[in-house]
Structure 1
Amino acid sequence: MTIRFVSFLMLIVSFLSAEAQAEKKSKQPNIVVFLCDDLGYGDLSAYGHQTIKTPNIDKLAETGIKMTDFYSAAPVCSPSRVGLLTGRSPNRAGIYDFIPGPKQSEDLRHLVHLQKGEETIPERLKTVGYATALVGKWHCSSLFNNPAQPQPDYFGFDYWFATHNNASPSHENPRNFVRNGEKAGLIEGFSCQIVVDEAIDWLDKKENNNPFYLQVTFHEPHEPIASPEDLVQEYLPYSNGRAEAEFYANVANVDKAVGRLLAYLEENGTDNTLVIFTSDNGPETFSRYSGAKRTFGQTGGLKGRKLWTTEAGFRVPGIVKWIGKDTYNGTTDAVVSALDILPTLCEITGAKLPNRELDGESFASLLKNGQFKRKKPLIWGFYNALNEHQVAMRHGDYKILARLKNNGEYLPNLNNMYKGNEELIKSSELTDFELYNLRDDSREASNLATVDPKVFNQMKNLLQKEYQTLLNGSHIWQE
């Protein structure tokens, strides 16, 4: 075999390989994940709100998949975001509650952050050629924009434009955005529109044709709320005062921002784009703290609110639409979690799963044929719950809740797990169980713990097993 012929064969192989890679990339969808902040299960007209108009998000639901039983990873912001990014219970990452600033505290909350070693959606997608960006709220570290803790770029975001927590001083004219490590200063406008402006600018300037992963994390409708005056005036006649009108207008402004980005994608020929829309937790409680004066979110009849382990704490809107692909279209009551987004995107894009214990599972079959039956129970251990039950699990049609008791006393509310309370938490026993059939009773009104002993014992035993597994894998903070 001559050298010339071998060189020719190598050229052909190289060409075919390049063609195969190009074909693979053309099949990989662009991905946009919209994540709202404190948007309740009943805050969209697609989910039953009688006043707020959300036509753009409603269209996603009408032409895509509207999920009625979609769950966030936690009933509060920081652990919920970490769960979505990693596909793992946030307890495994040591994120048990919202992350405050760096002020020292006895329970070591000032140390809490998404740690090196955790693998995320953008990190995984970068391995198969994706360009990645985060625009909006981060809230996954106590030291924001500080090299002492890993920042969004460490976790796979090529580009990031974010705030630590809320837009400040409000959604209007925020001053606290950081762009790739540099403070952006005062930006005029409203946060959700600013975030979409940044997303569009990044897409415009993207230098290659690689598929992209874009995570759009709105601050709305979390306090401190500020809304465009024209929208406030539009909702005033249908509200009980200006504060409620401001909340309604806030959600409506998010819908307009979503519509702007979707219109941009349509106009610019991105005809293979998977869009996911959801919220980090349920709606805030009115006047729970001094700044919560415009928190008029609705639960759609579910029990509780943000920070509760009942349904309204973490059952949230969940919508998926694969633009440009013939997929299932309709409403589903399949039990799906934000934890499932990472394994689903890995399956769709060809990325390998993280070499870590995952709690989510792929719902790619739901996109294909509308069928998905999860095998893994969904379990939450939230030690700062506003209701009495700090542990909850959904499996099939049923949900079981439990309190925690240690030496005859109920476990107090806790914000973090660290060496100082590890033994207290781990030696506490599950007690005071409640059982609900959510298919028949989504409002959690009829406790079946004593009514259906067979199912109760099955769920109780499963909860004890799953909770122990969660405890064994939970991160313990120490100095």
Structure 2
Amino acid sequence: MILKNTRNITILTLLFFSVLMSWAQQAKTTEQPNIIIFLCDDLGYGDLSSYGHPFIKTPNIDKLAATGIRMTNYYAAAPVCSPSRVGLLTGRSPNRAGVYDFIPGPKKSEDLRDKVHLQEGEETIPAMLKTVGYETALVGKWHCSSLFNNPAQPQPDYFGFDHWYATHNNASPSHKNPKNFVRNGEKVGQQEGFSCQLVVDEAMSWLDNRKGNHPFYLQVTFHEPHEPVASPEYLVQEYLPYSNGLAEAEFFANVANVDKAVGRLLAYLEEKGTENTLVIFTSDNGPETFTRYPGAKRTFGQTGGLKGRKLWTTEAGVRVPGIVNWIGKPMYTGTTDAVVSALDFLPTLSEITGAKLPNKELDGESFLSLIKTGKFERKKPLVWGFYNALNQHKIAMRYGDYKILARLKNNGEYLPQIMNVYDGNEALIKESELTDYELYNLIEDKMESVNLVETEPKKFTEMKKLLYTEYGKLLEGSHIWRNEVD
């Protein structure tokens, strides 16, 4: 009789703890936010009205900024698309993954760029979030592999996306009626509409058809305002009076169309009663240079007074709009000059959701304290090693209020522009010395116009030493592409 009662008590105890664990899990799921990252393509620091554009109207994005955090010192992981996206996904400098420049198609090249892709073993935000119950989707531009929709290289699903509706690079033939989207490995074919609106349509369709009540991670990667630009005619006509011709009006309308797409998705969430949603809005790099290549005839992006443009290691190449809004939860609201990077998204989302960090060297750090309290002091320097920079200084580092830049020289010769690091130029890069330094106080001189190397020798010595150490570590950890199978 005593044994029977003891057995019953044991069973009841197990049931009790099972219920408690179930409740705890449900509470955890309820607390975990839905997460949306909006990522534009070639949107400059000054291209939103909330960041000072005099003509483009972006009321939906501006509202996100006004009711959330508008960051004035937010940085992309690279000054060009593919490495920037890889950095965002992994929380690591894209050099570590071997993605040094934009990824072209699979045409054979001597420098092995045809092999470049986000490789097996790289751990990403969606894969991390799936371990704590998230459903995940990518809608828009991928551009993280040379062989898109080809089993020879890992595709978005390998990196944790349950659903993907994407293109390799740009929408083709333009943003209007694109025909190069792929949905979960199947070609979609010709579509009617503009890319940013089609991407949001897909996002809402995926949200409508999700099973269960799990939190979601949704990465919305717009093609706009990257060329080939195409915009709704009614918006073009609206901006013609404020522009210097049709081409500029088309660009203005392109950004405005993105804002309308963002507004549609946010209105959908509100209509569905979706609360507790963390929304991030940003760009992959700075604005394109007008007519840099034959198709860049509508590239009228603005830098907001920063130096350089896309493909530069100066501020306009990497400093872009950065907005965070935690809908339905208390958070700090206002403008901040805290230094934040796309590399920080992964560790921040890890801390928020309880997901375990990847067992990799991370270059980002959590800025959850900024979201909660408005205070964040960056500990890790931000280092860019962009060997194809259009400006002379291929190496740059932001730490605190200061930024230092350096050229690379080997045997008395400056390095040429380099698009990939492989066994044919590994020694050239690794044996090069940092030289021709420039130093700027970005709080006092965001235009990088007054070189402080001679006037602030103590700070220069400090920053030079730190750059030598940090760039050395990055160089040591960078992936080198080789002719044999890696």
- Counterpart among 7, 21, 28 of residue 24 in structure 1: 28
**How much does 1:340 deviate?**
0.2
Partner of 2:214: 210
Cα distance per residue 1:196-230 (max 9 Å; x no partner) = 00000000001111000000000000000000000
- Counterpart among 425, 429, 437 of residue 433 in structure 1: 437
Q: Distance in 2 between the 1:19 and 1:455 partners?
A: 54
Partner SS for 1:295: coil
- Counterpart among 388, 395, 400 of residue 399 in structure 2: 395
- The TM-score normalised by the length of structure 1 is 1.00
Letter aligned with residue 64 of structure 2: L
Instruction: Count the aligned residue pairs.
Output: 479
Partner SS for 1:465: helix
**How much does 1:319 deviate?**
0.1
Identity %: 77
Cα distance per residue 1:219-264 (max 9 Å; x no partner) = 0000000000000000001110000000000000000000000001
Partner of 1:164: 168
1:128-139 equivalences under 5 Å are 128-139=132-143
- The root-mean-square deviation of aligned C-alpha atoms, in Å, is 0.5
**How much does 1:12 deviate?**
1.2
Partner of 1:194: 198
**How much does 1:8 deviate?**
1.7
Partner of 1:315: 319
Asked if 1:382 is matched to 2:425, the reply is no
Partner of 1:255: 259
Partner of 1:462: 466
**How much does 1:287 deviate?**
0.1
Cα distance per residue 1:126-151 (max 9 Å; x no partner) = 00000000000000000000000000
Asked if 1:350 is matched to 2:357, the reply is no
Partner SS for 1:368: helix
Q: Which stretches of structure 1, 4 residues or more, deviate above 2 A after TM superposition?
A: 1-5
Partner of 2:17: 13
Partner of 1:287: 291
Q: Distance in 1 between the 2:8 and 2:206 partners?
A: 46
Letter aligned with residue 150 of structure 2: N
- Counterpart among 102, 112, 116 of residue 112 in structure 1: 116
Asked if 1:96 is matched to 2:139, the reply is no
Cα distance per residue 1:267-300 (max 9 Å; x no partner) = 1111100000000000000000000000000000
Partner SS for 1:216: strand
Partner of 2:307: 303
Partner SS for 2:338: coil
Asked if 1:35 is matched to 2:33, the reply is no
Asked if 1:179 is matched to 2:193, the reply is no
Asked if 1:364 is matched to 2:368, the reply is yes
Q: Distance in 1 between the 2:15 and 2:181 partners?
A: 49
Q: Distance in 1 between the 2:157 and 2:12 partners?
A: 42
Letter aligned with residue 269 of structure 1: G
Out of 9-18 and 148-157, give the one that drifted further.
9-18
Cα distance per residue 1:438-476 (max 9 Å; x no partner) = 000000010001111000010001001101000000000
**How much does 1:478 deviate?**
0.6
**How much does 1:311 deviate?**
0.1
Partner of 1:417: 421
Asked if 1:332 is matched to 2:336, the reply is yes
Partner of 2:69: 65
**How much does 1:11 deviate?**
1.3
**How much does 1:2 deviate?**
2.9
Q: Distance in 1 between the 2:30 and 2:175 partners?
A: 37
- The TM-score normalised by the length of structure 2 is 0.98
Q: Distance in 2 between the 1:19 and 1:188 partners?
A: 46
Q: Distance in 2 between the 1:5 and 1:458 partners?
A: 67
Name structure 1 gaps, 5 residues minimum.
Answer: none
Partner of 1:227: 231
**How much does 1:3 deviate?**
2.4
